[in-house]
Amino acid sequence: MPKITRAEAIDVRFPTSTMLDGSDAMNADPDYSAAYLRLHTDDPTLVGTSFVFTIGRGNELQIKAIAT
């Protein structure tokens, strides 16, 4: 059975346009973001992935949670 050898957390961000497409009354300046997790195993053909989507705020917290 393969074993997890490493967990990698990646901060991915997609800034909104200058016209603030995607903004709303609660989030006037959203920054579409994702905390991306990649699990590496001792079998190079097996890699696990996961995403946690945010609107920018809190993405750093998601990355720290994944990394711990």
Q: Residue 67: which pLDDT band, with cuts at 50, 70 and 90? A: confident
The strand pairing partners of 1, in sequence order, are: none
Residue-wise pLDDT tens digits, 11-58: 998 777 667 666 677 767 777 889 999 999 999 999 999 999 887 778
In the block, residue with structure tokens 């016209």: 19
pLDDT for 61 equals 92
CB 34 within 8 A of CB 12: yes
pLDDT for 22 equals 65
Q: What's the CATH code, domain 4-67?
A: 3.30.390.10
Looking at per-residue pLDDT, the higher value among 18 and 61 belongs to 61
Cβ-count burial 13-44 (b if 16+ within 10 Å, e if not):
eeebeeeeeeeeeeeeebebbbbbbeeeeeee
pLDDT for 21 equals 67
